């Protein structure tokens, strides 16, 4: 009786997954890669979209990471690539920039609409 319970992409499951240390190093590398791509994509999106965008470094990185997932979703819809990974996936640098620009435009539209609705309270002395 074999100890292999199944296969993943043609490899036995015990060798396809790897050791815990290998999985942790891959995950750490993925997180560092997402932070770098997020910073680049967020910065370029803020550079490309006109107007003032008051956000710091963390906001720029979060914008780029959100843009990466938007770009991955658009790539999934347009090109039908990576159907086995699903619709919610990270994309490359160019897809991340396009997604970050879209996310920033949507954010600016929502925040400007919210600011216009708020009544101005004037103080009378």
Q: What pTM does this model have?
A: 0.68
Does 5 reside within a domain?
no
Structural domain boundaries, residue 61: 18-117
User: Does position 45 have pLDDT exceeding 90, yes or no?
Assistant: yes
Does 46 reside within a domain?
yes
Residue 42 tokens read as 């967020």
Does 3 reside within a domain?
no
Does 125 reside within a domain?
no
Does 29 reside within a domain?
yes
Does 36 reside within a domain?
yes
Per the structure, the count of domains in the chain is 1
Residue 13 tokens read as 């499951």
9: alpha, beta or left? (left if phi > 0; alpha if psi -120 to 50): left
Per-residue model confidence as pLDDT tens digits over 48-102: 988 887 888 999 999 999 998 898 888 878 877 665 665 566 677 888 899 999 9
Does 11 reside within a domain?
no
């Amino acid at each position: 009786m074999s100890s292999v319970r199944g296969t993943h992409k043609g490899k036995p499951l015990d060798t396809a997954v790897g050791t815990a240390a290998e999985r942790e190093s891959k995950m750490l590398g993925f997180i560092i890669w997402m932070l770098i791509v997020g910073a680049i994509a967020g910065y370029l999106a803020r550079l490309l979209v006109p107007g003032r965008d008051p956000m710091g470094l963390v906001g720029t990185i979060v914008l780029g990471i959100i843009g990466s997932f938007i770009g991955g979703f658009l790539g999934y819809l347009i090109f039908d690539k990576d159907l086995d990974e699903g619709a919610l996936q990270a994309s490359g640098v160019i897809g991340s920039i396009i997604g970050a620009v879209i996310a920033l435009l949507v954010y600016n539209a929502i925040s400007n609409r919210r600011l216009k609705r708020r009544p101005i309270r004037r103080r009378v002395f």
